[in-house]
């Protein structure tokens, strides 16, 4: 792949001409810097000034210098070239790039900071644009090109997005400890709680999507006691006796006042993973820094996420 400087010469050759003439104050030397014949540079400068309707360069004996108009324009030319180079570096340089990452709120406390800390220790020049949002919004952001990667759950199944599972959590029917089902062993079916009120997560959350899918397949619509913003709140409200919920198993064991029951049937897991645009979408180009960070997430995430979620 071409370097940022080489790409700048493709995208902004006229800006480079003005900058080179200003730095060398000599057309021949400027032509050497630009790696072009001197007559070609002279003609290009003349054509540029004719199109602009103003002189940017004037002769001084054997050399040249910028006119007042040229001097006023020069700082903007230099700034434009530097900004362009920085942007191209983000596209081509794995050590200077930028990664736009969106992630679930539950992963923002420990998982994402741990992933970033480990990656930036080895690649300090890579910068990040971070967005914390629910499952549906994160997938839309990646699909629209607003983010390079998403750490989310569940993973998409349609076209346009690729994904890799980092960790899989078991879903449990969480009930208050005095609930009639609390003493059941061997697992229950979600339909056995059809008569209860449910603590659901708000629409657009991944766990809400999984709960809706389970209840749809079980043939009932949950009666809603409350729609929570996050898993921890839903779990706490179950402990308070406000209803039951379908939630990921808590790694440290059930919250006090609750019992977690295994759910019999299919689709009783919650995969957590990384999502990115499918190959060929978004112009078919992935910046090297994005590929580097995704590889880091896939390498480190499977051992990191189980210890820091729940």
pTM exceeds 0.75, yes or no: no
pLDDT value, residue 134: 93
How far is the C-alpha of 143 from the C-alpha of 278, rounded, in Å? 9
Cis peptide before 154 (omega within 30 of 0): yes
Low-confidence residues of the chain: pLDDT under 50: 310
How many residues in the chain?
310
CA distances, 144 to each of 31, 89, 148 (Å): 43, 22, 10
Tokens of 105: 């709120």
Task: Collect all residues with Cβ–Cβ distance below 8 Å to 259 and sequence separation of at least 6.
Answer: 174, 175, 176, 177, 179, 181, 182
Query: Residues 17, 20, 25, 31: is their CA dihedral positive or negative?
Result: negative
Among 66, 17, 12, 62, which Cα is nearest to 44's? 17
Burial grade of 72 (CB within 10 A; 0-12, 13-18, 19 or more): exposed
Give pLDDT tens digits for 147-199: 999 999 999 987 889 999 999 999 999 999 999 999 999 899 999 999 999 99
CB atoms within 10 A of CB 70: 20
Name the pairing type of β-strands 149-152 and 161-176. Answer: unpaired
Residue 184's pLDDT is: 94
């Amino acid at each position: 792949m071409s370097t940022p400087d080489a790409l700048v010469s493709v995208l902004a050759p006229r800006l480079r001409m003005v900058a080179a003439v200003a730095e060398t104050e000599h057309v021949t030397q400027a032509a050497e810097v630009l790696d072009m014949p001197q007559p070609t540079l002279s003609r290009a400068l003349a054509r540029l000034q004719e199109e602009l309707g103003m002189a940017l360069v004037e002769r001084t004996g054997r050399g040249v210098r910028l006119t007042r108009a040229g001097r006023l324009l020069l700082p903007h030319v230099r700034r434009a070239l530097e900004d362009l180079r920085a942007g191209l570096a983000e596209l081509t340089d794995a050590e200077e790039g930028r990664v736009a990452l969106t992630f679930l709120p539950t992963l923002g406390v420990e998982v994402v900071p741990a992933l970033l800390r480990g990656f930036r220790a080895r690649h300090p020049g890579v910068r990040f644009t971070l967005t914390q949002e629910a499952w549906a919004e994160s997938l839309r952001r990646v699909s629209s090109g607003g983010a390079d990667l998403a750490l989310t759950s569940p993973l998409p199944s349609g076209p346009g997005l690729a994904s890799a599972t980092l960790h899989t959590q078991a879903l449990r029917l969480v009930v208050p400890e005095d609930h009639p089902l609390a003493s059941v062993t061997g697992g229950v079916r979600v339909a056995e709680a059809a008569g209860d009120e449910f603590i659901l997560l708000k629409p657009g959350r991944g766990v809400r999507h999984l709960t809706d899918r389970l209840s749809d397949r079980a043939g009932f619509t949950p009666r809603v006691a409350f729609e929570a913003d996050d898993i921890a709140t839903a779990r706490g409200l179950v402990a308070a006796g406000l209803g039951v919920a379908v939630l990921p198993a808590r790694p440290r064991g059930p919250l006090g006042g609750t019992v977690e029951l295994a759910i019999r049937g299919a689709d009783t897991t919650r995969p957590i993973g990384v999502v990115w645009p499918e190959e060929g979408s978004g112009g078919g180009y992935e910046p090297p820094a994005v590929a580097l960070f995704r590889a880091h997430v896939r390498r480190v995430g499977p051992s990191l996420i189980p210890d820091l979620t729940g």
